[in-house]
Structure 1
Amino acid sequence: MRGTALSLAALVATAGMAGAAELNVYNWGEYINPEVLKKFEEETKIKVNLSTYSSNEEMLAKIQGGATGYDIVFPSVHMQDIMAKLDLLEKTDINKYEGFKNIDPSFLRAKSDPGGEYCLPYAWGSVGIFYNRKVLGKDVTGWKDLIETVKAKGLKFTLLDDMREVLAVGLILNGHKINSTDPAELQQAADTIIAMKPHVAAFTYDERPMVQAGDVAAGHAFVGAMIDVFGNEKDLGYVIPEEGATMYQEDICVLKSAPNKENAIKFLQFYTRPEIVALNVAQQTNGTANVPARQLTPEKIKNSKEINPPAETMGRLQIFEDLGPALRQVDRVWTRVKTAQ
Structure 2
Amino acid sequence: MTLFKGAFRHLGLVALTVMALPAATALAEELNIYNWGEYINPAVLQKFEEETKIKVNLSTYSSNEEMLAKIQGGATGYDIVFPSVHMQDIMAKLDLLEKTNINTYEGFKNIDPQFLRAKSDPNGEYCLPYAFGTVGILYNRKVLGKDIIGWKDLIETVKAKNLKFTLLDDMREVLGVGLMLNGHAVNSTDPGELQQAADTVIAMKPYVAAFTYDSRPMVQSGDIAAAHFFVGAMIDVFGNPKDLGYVIPEEGATMYQEDMCILKSAPNKDNALKFMQFYTKPEIAALNVSQQTNGTANVPARQLTPDNIKNSTEINPTDETMKRLQIFEDLGAGLRQFDRAWTKVKTAQ
Tell me the TM-score normalized by structure 2: 0.90
1:273 aligns with 2:281: yes
Answer 1 or 2: which has greater helix percent.
1
SS at match of 1:296: coil
Cα deviation, residue 117, structure 1: 0.7
Q: Deviations over 1:57-87 (max 9, x none)?
A: 2222222233332221111111111111111
Residue 178 of structure 2 corresponds to residue 170 of structure 1: yes
Within the alignment, does 1:340 sit opposite 2:345 as a pair? Answer: no
Task: Return the TM-score normalized by structure 1.
Answer: 0.92
Determine if the alignment matches structure 1 residue 202 to structure 2 residue 210: yes
> How far apart are the structure 2 equivalents of 1:332 and 1:64?
27
Structure 2 counterpart of 1:256: 264
CA distance in 1: counterparts of 2:329 and 2:82, whole angstroms: 16
Identity %: 85
Worse-matched range after superposition: 133-142 or 166-175: 133-142
Q: Deviations over 1:5-24 (max 9, x none)?
A: xxxxxxxxxx9896122222
For residue 113 of structure 1, what is the aligned residue in structure 2? 121
- For the structure 1 residues 17 and 133, does the alpha-carbon distance in structure 2 shift closer, same or farther, using more than 3 Å as the test? closer
Is 2:251 the counterpart of 1:240?
no
Which of 52, 74, 77 aligns to 2:60? It is 52
The answer to whether structure 1 residue 312 and structure 2 residue 317 are counterparts is no
Residue 161 (str. 1) matches residue 161 (str. 2): no
Question: What is the match of residue 39 of structure 2?
Answer: 31
Letter in 2 for 1:28: W
Amino acid at match of 2:345: V
After superposing the two structures, state which structure 1 stretch, 244-253 or 322-331, moved more: 322-331
Instruction: Report what 1:97 is aligned to.
Output: 105
Shift, 1:105, TM fit: 1.1
Amino acid of the structure 1 residue aligned with 2:256: Y
Letter of the 1:234 partner, please give it.
K
RMSD over aligned Cα atoms = 1.6
1:156 alignment partner AA: K
Counterpart AA for 2:226: A
- 2:44 equivalent to 1:20: no
2:145 to 137, 143, 153: 137
Amino acid at match of 1:65: G
- 1:67-125 deviation per Cα after TM superposition (whole angstroms, max 9, x unaligned): 33222111111111111111111111111111111111111110100110110000111
Partner residue of 1:183 out of 181, 191, 213: 191
- One-letter code aligned to 1:239: V
- In structure 2, the CA distance between the partners of 1:161 and 1:68, relative to structure 1 (3 Å rule), is farther
Greater CA radius of gyration, 1 or 2? 1
Structure 2: give runs of 5+ residues left out of the alignment. Answer: 1-22
What is the aligned partner in structure 1 of residue 134 from structure 2?
126
Question: Which segments of 5 or more consecutive residues in structure 1 lack a partner in the other structure?
Answer: 1-14
